[in-house]
Amino acid sequence: MAVAAITNLIAPAAAFASAPILARALGVEARGAVGAATSPLLLMTALATVGLPAAVTVLTAKRPEIARFALAHATLLVGVSGVIGTIVSIMLAPFLAGGSMEIAHLISITSLAIVPALLISVLRGAASGHHEWRLVNREKYITAFVRLGGVIALWLAGALTVETSIAAIALSPIIGGLAYLNIGRLSVPHAGGIKSRTISGDLLGFGTRVWVGSLSGILLSRLDQVLIIPLSNTQQLGYYVTAVSVAEVALVVNNAVRDVILASDAAQADTAKLTMSARVSFLVSIVIGIVLVGSMWVWFPWLFGQEFQPAVAVSSVLVLAGTIGVPGSVAGAGLSSRGRPGLRSSALVIAVVINVLALLVLVPPMGAMGAAIATLIGNIVSANLSITFFCRLSKTNPLDLYLIRPSDVRVLLGVSKRVLKRQPK
């Protein structure tokens, strides 16, 4: 988890480092246009996964003998769903662009990256199921390097425009997928008597249950960016996407913990380890959040420019929203790993409904701040419902995921010393 957390810092760090360049080179309106063109790509990619990457992770961890067949079937299935998602994205482009034909055209072009992104997500799921975090981490390094390096190179060459910025953001994850070129060697010879239909059924059966929750989770974090232009304008979206690039830094540890718990708890359920991981992740997120919120009033306007001053308060609310949801995200991973993804999905669906209603009410009068408050409300609902469901399933006290103990601080300090002295393999 420690190594994955350090690696997970790379993606938000790249986004954080490239955000000031994009903000100063493009301005608020053009930065909003970049967000408007790339947000549907992330949303449609999540929609078209059908939960298959998580299904590959869990199925591979539980039954390594069918890893090769699970990967092959999942690749075929996401290929079909990706084509459908691309067509739907292009059809919805005029609405998502708020009537702007230029932005609609950009959305249609970025939609072509949906299928490659889906194929890479399945490869990532297979690597995670094998506990090959080295490959997963390598993908993140390549993606971050290409994104940040591309933005910097375009900026220095005087070629950083809305179109080239979108290309750097959309293509970097695809290039990062080159990390999985040798994933075939991870395949374990399958046992005899495995039916192809059974594998597809297991993948779709588990995947669709996870998918509802995964989609709802993406809707909680991405739908606001998609709806801000139809409900408000590109200026407010420019503020919002800039605030998001800062707020995501507070969640780097939680993302690592969630991903590792999904695979490790599927292989061997351990409630004590899961709850301890949730508390340590929560503690780290609180510390990072306090540092960010306490200092951003000084460096944010200087880094991004005075025209982005309204994004400071928005970013503070988003940091709070992300931190509050940390224990719930780990509990949700526990529900999925223990074969109850439907419970996690139920929590997220309820939260999304509340989030959408809040967006419709708050964004028109309040813009980016309204979207941030809606995200805070949705995260509170989803986190507490996931914790409630997990605690009933595992007969655990909800405070075991929230209430930080002295032993958690000692664990965190011990891990930090070990990572500083010698990075674990």
Calculate mean pLDDT across residues 224-235: 86
Assigned token pair, 300: 């944010």
Report the pLDDT value the prediction gives residue 376, as an integer from 0 to 100: 94
Contact 80, 207 (CB under 8 A): no
Give the model confidence (pLDDT) of 197-220 as tens digits. 566 566 656 666 666 656 666 676
pTM of whole model > 0.85?
Answer: no
Round the average pLDDT of the chain to a whole number and report it.
Answer: 82
Decide if pLDDT at 75 tops 80: yes
Report the pLDDT value the prediction gives residue 36, as an integer from 0 to 100: 87
Please spell the DSSP secondary structure of 337-391, one letter per residue: HTT-HHHHHHHHHHHHHHHHHHHHHHHHHHTHHHHHHHHHHHHHHHHHHHHHHHH
Report the pLDDT value the prediction gives residue 1, as an integer from 0 to 100: 57
Calculate mean pLDDT across residues 127-153: 86
Lowest mean pLDDT: which of 49-63, 77-91, 221-235, 342-356?
49-63
Which range, 89-103, 264-278, 365-379, has the best average confidence (pLDDT)? 365-379
Q: Is 195 exposed, middle or buried (0-12, 13-18, 19+ CB in 10 A)?
A: exposed
Report the pLDDT value the prediction gives residue 408, as an integer from 0 to 100: 77
| pLDDT grade for 424, boundaries at 50, 70 and 90 | very low
Report the pLDDT value the prediction gives residue 217, as an integer from 0 to 100: 65
Per-domain residue ranges for the chain?
2-421
Report the pLDDT value the prediction gives residue 115, as an integer from 0 to 100: 94
Calculate mean pLDDT across residues 249-269: 67
Report the pLDDT value the prediction gives residue 255, as an integer from 0 to 100: 67
Q: What is the C-alpha separation between 344 and 339, in angstroms, rounded? A: 10
Percent pLDDT > 70 in the chain is: 81
Residue with tokens 């992104």: 117
Decide if pLDDT at 4 tops 70: no
